[in-house]
Structure 1
Amino acid sequence: MTNLAARLVGVVCLAAAGASTLLHRAIFVAAQSGPAQAAEFAAGLLSFVLASLGVLLLTNGARLFERPAPPAAKPVEVLPVSEPGAGMDESAACDSRYGVARLLSERAIQRASLPQSGSSRVRS
C-alpha cells in the first residue's frame, strides 16, 4: 500500500466515522425514553473504531503497516575471569571488585588491631 493510498483510506474512515455518528444519533433519538440498545452501543463503538483508524492512517500513512527490522546483535567482548587475589600485588588492589574488597578488608583489620588513642578502654 502506498503512502497516498493509506492516507486516502484514512480520510474515508473519518468520513465513515462521521456517518456512523449520525446513525448513532438517530438511534439515540428514536429510543430516548427507553434504556440503551445494543444497536446504539454498536454504532458508538463503530464510530470510535473508524475515527481512531482514520486518524492513525491519516497521520502515519503506510508506515503504520511496516514491520521494523529486528535489531542487529552487537558483538560482546567477554573478559576472562581470574581467581580472586591470584597474582595481585598492592599496586593492583583497586583494579577489580576483588581487589577493592581485599583492600577494604585489610584496612578494616588494620584499624581494628590499632590501639584506640584517647579512649577510656584499657587493654590487658
Structure 2
Amino acid sequence: AFMGQALRGEDITVFGDGSQTRSFCYVDDQVEGIYRLLLSDYSDPVNIGNPNEITIGDFAEEIIALTGTDQKVVYQDLPQDDPLKRRPDISLAKKVLDWEPKVGREEGMRITFEYFKSLSQEELNKRDHKDFTKHIRR
C-alpha cells in the first residue's frame, strides 16, 4: 500500500502514531517455509515469517527513500484492536524445518519496487495487486 501510494504521488497513510511494529517476509521465503512444513511429518502450528521488525513510521520513511518521492507521512487514528507489535518467533521453524528467511527487507523491498515501477499508470491506479507476486519471482 505504501509503495503504491508513493508511486501514485499520494501521501503515505500511517494508522496510529507509527510506533507499532511489523515484520515483513518476502514471498519466496514464506512459500519455502510453508513448503518445508507441508513435506515434514510435523503437524502442529509453526510460525513462518521474518522476526526482524520495524516501526510502521520507519517503514513509511524507507518507502519514501526507496521510491525517491517526496510524499509526507500522514497519521490517522489507529483502528481498534490493531496490534501494536507483530514479530513471529521462528525458533520452531529453524529447529523442525531447518528454515529461516533468506531475503532481507531491503532486498525484498527493492524487488517489489522494481515490479511496481514496471506497472502502467492504469495498473498502478487499480490499487489492487493481489496477484503481483507472480510477476516478481526471481
| TM-score higher than 0.5 | no
With a CA cutoff of 8 Å and minimum separation of 6, indicate the structure with the bigger relative contact order. Answer: 2
More strand by percentage? 2
Choose 1 or 2 for highest CA Rg.
1
What TM-score do you get using the length of structure 1 for normalisation?
A: 0.21
